[in-house]
Amino acid sequence: MLQVALIYPEIPPNTGNIARTCAATNTHLHLVEPLGFEISDRQLKRAGIDYWEYVNVTVHPNIESLSLAANGARWICFSARGKQHFREFAYQDGDWLLFGSESQGLPASLIDHHSSVYIPMEHPKVRSLNLSVSAALGLFEARRQLGI
């Protein structure tokens, strides 16, 4: 089963939108602290609307805790610095899709030690998409390849 992990998310509506996507696809969502908001944040709840009861979410105090939960599963880092086009990458059942914070992205140490993919940007002045859009693209491409 695919998993989505947000490393140090900062903006409540983005996380809420991703949580909603995870609820709709029955995908476990992992959040790694520090978070730029509280889980009870009104904006976070608003973005998830009334679907929060359907979100399987785990908050991890650090990346080490996330790694223990992943139990050796493959991590796929989504980054503008990724090495392979996200649609050309061969996803596997059990992959964990990792997305970084809105302002910093993923730590280089993660990108350097795990598979990494990028979502292409046509305009040279646009470096990335909104986090919730990127997470949806990545999750649905992985699901498409797996026939889910």
Binding residues for S-adenosyl-L-methionine: 100, 119, 128
- CA angle 114/98/84 to nearest 5° reads 55
Nearest Cα residue to 96 out of 15, 22, 9? 22
72, 84, 131, 145 from 90: Cα distances, Å: 18, 10, 22, 8
Question: Which residues does 117 contact at the CB level (< 8 Å), separation at least 6?
Answer: 76, 77, 78, 79, 82, 83, 84, 85, 86, 89, 138
Beta-bridged to residue 30, according to DSSP, are 5, 58
Q: Residues at the annotated binding site?
A: 100, 119, 128
Residue located via tokens 């693209």:
137
